[in-house]
Chain A
Amino acid sequence: QVQLRESGPPLVKPSETLSLTCFVSGFSVSNSYYWAWIRQPPGKGLEWIGTIYHTGDTYYKSSLESRVTVSVDTSKNQFSLRLSSVTAADTAVYYCARGNPTSLFDYWGPGTLVTVSS
């Protein structure tokens, strides 16, 4: 079955770059689905960060666009998130998810907590 799993450092220093990878199994990232990053800051709601298609086409939340890069590696069946110049406001549980062209997210990773702190 389709499974996603986030991986990356749990602690990032302010002003540095947050990097996460989502490993996908049971489904090829090259198929006709979109791959997304979504986060949830402590005590707050869900926030969509960005989405990528296997062709490399990317779509980002406008307020984060200057700091976000989402990439895909079809040979490894994974996709990644980079968020630069992080601050404490970027502390959150980060989820990767599979989305259809209408941004319905049907499979999610378990989430990984990333804390921004010195």
Chain B
Amino acid sequence: EIVMTQSPATLSVSPRERATLSCRASQDIGINLAWYQHKPGQPPRLLIYGASSRATGIPARFSGSGSGTEFTLTINSLQSADFAVYYCQLHNNWPPGATFGPGTRVDIK
């Protein structure tokens, strides 16, 4: 079973600064990595899939990178709407299923 880990658990960032979030897989998963944004009272929102492809309607300030076991989500020039919890997720596995990381909370510094 592949385990997903994320660091840091909490990231304090000032508005208009850059946030860099990390996700690690316990085994090589290629680029089968997605990122979701989750705000209180709302469902998660798909941001990135295939490690670096932005989902429909996602602003360019969100970017993903990495392959194998190490992945990064970068949020440039943070806006107030970006303060949330971010989850990475292993996808493209068969049979259908999902493994989420524990999440990184991005809050206001």
Contacts and interface: CB of A to CB of B under 8 A. Distances in A.
Nearest to B43: A108
Q: What is the interface residue range for chain A against chain B?
A: 20 to 34
A34 B96 contact: yes
Interface stretch (A8-16, A24-32, A82-90, A97-105): A97-105
Interface residues of B, number: 26
B97 A48 contact: yes
Interface in B27-49: 32, 34, 36, 38, 42-46, 49
Contact of B96 (A45, A46, A59): A59
Main secondary structure of the interface of B (DSSP, over half): loop
A34 B38 CA distance: 21
Interface string A56-99: 00010100000000000000000000000000000000010101
A105 B46 contact: yes
B66 interface: no
A103 B42 contact: no
A100 B95 CA distance: 12
B64 interface: no
Contact of B43 (A36, A45, A111): A111
Given A95-B43, A111-B43, A104 B96 contact: no
B44 to A, nearest CB: 6
A21 interface: no
Interface of A: 34, 36, 38, 45-48, 51, 53, 59, 61, 95, 97, 99, 101-106, 108-111
